[in-house]
Amino acid sequence: MQLTSKSNVTGKTKKVTNVNSALAAATCVLLGTTPVVQADEAVWEMDTALLYYGETDRITAVEGVFSAKKDFGDEHIFSGKIILDALTGASASGAVSQPSAQTYTRPSGKGQYVIDAGEIPLDDTFRDTRVQLEAQWTQPLWDDMRGSAGVHLSKEYDYLSIAVNGSLAKDFNQKNTTVSAGLSLAFDTIDPEGGLPVAFSEMVIDQGQFANEQAYQAAFDATRQTGTDDKSIVDLMFGVTQIINRRMLMQFNYGYSTSDGYHTDPFKVLSVVNDQGLTQSLVHEGRPTERTRQSFYWQTKYALDSGVADISYRYATDDWDINSHTIDSRLRFNLSGNTYIQPHFRYYQQGAAEFYQPFLLEGSTLPAFASADYRLGEMTAYTLGLKYGMKMPSGNEWAFRLEYYQQDPKNAGFDEPGALQQLDLYPSVKAVIAQVSYSF
Amino acid sequence: MLKKVRLMLAFLISTQLVGCANLGVQPWERDLLAKEEMALDSEGIDLGLDDHIYFSKEATSGGRAFAGGGCGCN
C-alpha cells in the first residue's frame, strides 16, 4: 500500500449547490428578512468508488473508497477517507524460469508449489486484506496563509503504516501564486507469516533430505531473523502553484524523501545459476537499509472551450540509482452540460537499481545487496484509459473508468548463460483497471 | 541526459518565477479557473487509487503528493 496526501492546501473546494437553500436565501434578501435557518449551511460532500485491478495470471485486487469532506465555515475543512482492499493471486518471486520444473517452499515455510518448465516463477500465496484510514484538517491561519494537518493509518495482515503530515500554504499576487511547504513522517512495521528471511540465506526446500518435520523446521528457522522489523520515512515537499492566464494554471513540486530501516521484500528471492544457466539454489534478496529520493513534478491544466487538458511530467531520482520519467495526460471533453468523456494516457520509464540483478552466478562473490524484483529493474510501462462521467439533475455524479496497463521489463545489460538465453526472463505484465465512482 | 533534464527544469522554473509579476488574472477573470474540473485535485479519488497501483508496481512514487510509507510487497 501507499500513503498519500492530496494537496489540500492548493485544492479548491467543490461547490455543491443546494438550489432550495439558494432560492430561500435569495427570497429572504428580496423580502429584507433574516432566514430562520442558516440557508447556506454547509453539506457533506461524499465521494465513493469501487476499483477492480486484474493482471493476467497474476494479482487481482478490489478496492473500495469512501471519502467525506465538509467546510465548517470560512474554509475550515475536514476531510476523511476509508479505503478497504482485498488482494489475491500470484506475484513474480524474482527467480528465473528454467527448462525443467522447479519446486519452491512457500514464504511461510508451510507447503510447496511447483512451477512448470519455461514458466516464470510466480508465488501464488498472496491473499491480503487492507484497511486505510485518513483524516485531514485544513484552515486559514493569518495573512493569506493556510495550514493543514492530517493522520494516516494503514493496516494489513503483516504490515502496519502510521503517518502524520502538516503543511503551510501562502497566497501572493492577488492569489495568483501559492507557495506551499509540507512535511510527512511515516513509520512502518512488517511482520510476515513465517518470519523475515535473513538476506542471502538459501531457501530450504524439503526434497526428502530431512529425517523428520522438526529437522526441516530447524533448517527453515535458521533462515529467519527473530522478531519484526520497521522503517521510518521523512518526506518534505515544496510547491508553487501559478495561475498563468484566464485558462491556464501550473504547479511545480519538489519532493525530498528519506527512509531508514527495512526496505527488503521478504517474499522475493534470486536464483543462483551455473554457467549453463541452470538453477543450483535460491537465496533471499537483501536491499540497503537507507534510501533517499528526489522528485520534480510539473503539472498544467488548461481550460478548453468545452473541456480541460491536464498534463503532468515527473522526474524522479534516488541514491539506489533508479531514475524515472513519467508523463500523464487526461483530456476531458464535455459532451453536453452534464456528461463528458476523458481519455487518459500515461507513459513511465525507469532505470534499474544499482543492486538489481536478474540472477546470481554460482561461484561469484556475493554482493552487499541484491534483488531480482523486476520492479527494481529497467522497464517501461504505459496506461491507456477512458472515463465517462455524467451529472444527474440532483447534482450527484456517476463516473466509469476502464483502463489497460502494461509493463515491459527490459534486460539492463546482463549476459544470460546457457539455457537462460532460450527463456523469457522479462515477461510483460498486463492489467485491466475498472472503476465505478459516485459522488453525492 | 540527466544534466539536460535538470537544466531544462531549472530554466522552466526560473522563467516561471521571474515572470510571476506579469502572470495571473484579475479576480473577475476567474470564471474558467473556478470550474470544478479545473481544481488540481478535482479527481482526488482516481488519483489516489492510481498512486496506490503505481506505487505497488513501479520503483518510483510521490511527486504530486508525499511519497509516503507502505509495503507494496506483491
pLDDT for A55-83, tens place per residue? 998 999 999 999 999 999 889 999 999 99
Mean pLDDT of A360-381: 94
Mean pLDDT of A174-196: 92
- Percent over 70 (pLDDT), chain A: 91
Nearest CB among A4, A65, A267 relative to B65 is that of: A4
Grid cell digits, residue A440: 453525492
**Distant-in-sequence contacts of A29-38, Cβ < 8 A, 24+ apart:** none
The pairing of strands A112-115 and A159-172 is unpaired
Q: What is the DSSP string of A49-83?
A: EEEEEEETTS-EEEEEEEEEEEE-STT-EEEEEEE
Grid cell digits, residue B45: 479519488
Grid cell digits, residue B10: 531549472
Nearest CB among A184, A298, A326 relative to B66 is that of: A184
Q: Which helix (H) or strand (E) holds B2?
A: helix B2-18
Banded pLDDT at A308 (limits 50, 70, 90): very high
- Please report the domains of chain A, with CATH numbers, ordered by start residue: 19-439 (2.40.160.40)
Amino acid at A394: S
For A11, A126, A275, B45, the CA distances from A239, given in Å and listed in that order, are 12, 38, 52, 21
Contact between chains at A316 and B62 (C-beta distance less than 8 A): yes
Task: Give the contacts of A25 (CB within 8 A, at least 6 positions apart).
Answer: A35, A39, A40
Tell me: the pLDDT tens digits for A375-412?
999 999 999 999 999 999 998 999 999 999 999 999 99
Residue B16: its chain A contacts at CB < 8 A? 240, 242, 250, 252
DSSP state of A423: S
Checking phi first, is residue A92 left (phi over 0); if not, alpha (psi -120 to 50) or beta? beta
- Contact between A399 and A387 (Cβ < 8 Å): yes
Task: Give the contacts of A23 (CB within 8 A, at least 6 positions apart).
Answer: none
The pairing of strands A269-273 and A360-361 is parallel
CA distance A166 to A151: 9
Amino acid at B44: G
Residue B14: its chain A contacts at CB < 8 A? none
CA distance A204 to A301: 54
Mean pLDDT of A256-266: 94
Nearest CB among A172, A252, A257 relative to B13 is that of: A252
Nearest-CA neighbor of A318 among A298, A343, A334, A294? A294
Comparing A62-66, A144-148, A341-345, B24-28, the range with the smallest average pLDDT is B24-28
pLDDT of A213 > 80? The answer is: yes
Nearest CB among A128, A316, A401 relative to B60 is that of: A316
Q: What is the DSSP string of A3-15?
A: -----TTT--PPP
| CA dihedral for A337, A72, B31, A81, sign (positive or negative) | negative
Tell me: the pLDDT tens digits for A230-247?
999 999 999 999 999 999
Read off the pTM: 0.86
Distance in angstroms between the alpha carbons of the first and the last residue of chain A: 27
DSSP state of A420: G
3-state secondary structure of A301: strand
Residue B37: its chain A contacts at CB < 8 A? 308, 332
- Contact between A412 and A351 (Cβ < 8 Å): yes
Nearest-CA neighbor of A278 among A41, A97, A69, A434? A97
CA distance A140 to A212: 68
Q: Please identify among residues 2-61 of chain B the ones whose CB lies closer than 8 Å to any CB of chain A.
A: 2, 5, 9, 12-13, 16-17, 20-21, 23-27, 29-49, 51-61
What pLDDT score does A28 carry? 41
What pLDDT score does A41 carry? 65
CB-based burial label for A322 (10 Å; 0-12, 13-18, 19+): buried
Name the stretches of chain B with pLDDT < 70: 1-21, 72-74
Grid cell digits, residue A385: 484509459
Grid cell digits, residue A192: 510476515
pLDDT of A154 > 70? The answer is: yes
Size of interface A-B (CB pairs under 8 A): 247
pLDDT of A35 > 60? The answer is: no
Amino acid at A432: V
CA distance A74 to A94: 53
Task: Give the contacts of A147 (CB within 8 A, at least 6 positions apart).
Answer: A9, A138, A139, A140, A141, A166, A167, A168, A169
DSSP state of B30: -
